[in-house]
Amino acid sequence: MTSKQTIVVGLSGGVDSAVSAYLLKQQGHHVIGIFMKNWEDDDDTGYCSSNIDFVDAASVADVIGIDIEHVNFAADYKDRVFAEFLREYQAGRTPNPDILCNAEIKFKAFLDHAMRLGADKIATGHYARVRCVSTQPGADGQLLPVETSRLGDGRFELLKGLDPSKDQSYFLHRLTQAQLASTLFPVGELHKTEVRRIAAEIGLPNAKKKDSTGICFIGERPFREFLNRYIAHEPGPIKNDRGHIIGKHVGLSFYTLGQRQGLGIGGIREKGAQRGGGDHAPWFVARKDVKTNTLWVVQGHDHPWLLSNGLVAQDMSWAAGSAPALTDTLAFAASATAQGATTAVPASEARRLSAKTRYRQADAPCWLTAAPQPGSLTEPGDPGAIALVFDEPQWAVTPGQSAVLYDGDLCLGGGVIAVAR
């Protein structure tokens, strides 16, 4: 029998957080709901669903039989998340605000507020799992009940959600041991179909509500229109891989590597190209040169400019509590050389893992090295930076996005991609 805990659940108005609250209530816990309002610049537009979401969250709380509080974190969001989001875009990179939102708002500002209410734990509707592995003498390696485990009882591990199509550990890799020790993910053990079945069975009003796909708390408004309100943009040339100007972009901030839609150059052929040849292949954004304000595009999904054998990531965060220990791997030096590293890294400085460089991406087997070596990939100037060398070239690895490392289902942590090679 699980001992009764006070658990504050972030109710977003969606079905996942609603079922999370229900499951915890069924387990006998004292559950309190909190609706987080994190954006208020344009509440009067049709794009911000905050008011509708709160009505849904309040209706869920009524059905489940729990109290709900409306809390405004808009100032925190603007200072901790949105300001950094704009800085990265202005620098020509493509950030992922959902990752920063989780680290700074949902699992910091919200967590702090919940603790002031007397919470033992918080819970959200993320598809991920947490387990606690004892580090105590005589019980080292034993699994402890996560509901009652506290920081210091053992090592907290972030695991993928059991539903591979919904796993959200990628967005949670920046969580610390203290944050993981205070968090539960009730639906991480379930598949989405089961979550919706439970919601329908108990009569939740949002059982069939569509999943949100917009940027964290900013809604599903037209992104270019939204960004245009905050970032000065300067049009410039679009060039192909031969250096020929084939169009004009509206501002580098509005494009990301691998982008195909919205380039305004469809159907363009090189002068003199034969009709019916391969010159109608789709165009993709391949590079952004901030210094010259040039957008470089290439034709074909598998163009070499879109493929990377490795990367360097910095600003590392380790959900596991520390960087992975490196192990001797005799095959690494040959593999690294084969995959394009110009200086082989000693085998004793490598470890075999897998990584994601995009959320909707299969895990890519790779080698991890502790830091970029002079003459290899690059030197970003971060002593905690890591380099990855992939078994197979990866598509559209994008500076500003996150590279997240896994050891099987265990999410070790990750960092911001500085350079792709």
Active site residues: 101, 216
Closest CA to 67 of 3, 8, 131: 8
**What's the Cα-to-Cα distance from 244 to each of 229, 238, 270, 276, 278, rounded to whole Å?**
31, 8, 9, 21, 18
State both tokens at 413: 């942590």
Task: Quote the distance between the C-alpha of residue 248 and its chain's center.
Answer: 31
> Counting beta carbons within 10 angstroms of the beta carbon of residue 328, is it exposed (0 to 12), middle (13 to 18) or buried (19 or more)?
exposed
Structure-block tokens of residue 286: 């391949």
Structure tokens at 309: 């054998």
CA dihedral for 362, 360, 421, 347, sign (positive or negative): negative
What is the radius of gyration, based on Cα positions, of the chain? 23
Report the length, in residues, of the chain: 421
* Integer Cα distance of 21 and 185 in angstroms: 10
Nearest to 227 by CA among 86, 100, 93: 86
Beta bridge pairs of residue 245: 239
- The token duo for 313 is 């990531």
Do residues 368 and 353 touch, judged by C-beta distance below 8 A?
A: yes
Contact indicator for 413, 162 with CB cutoff of 8 Å: no
Say if strands 294-299 and 236-239 run parallel, antiparallel, or are unpaired: parallel
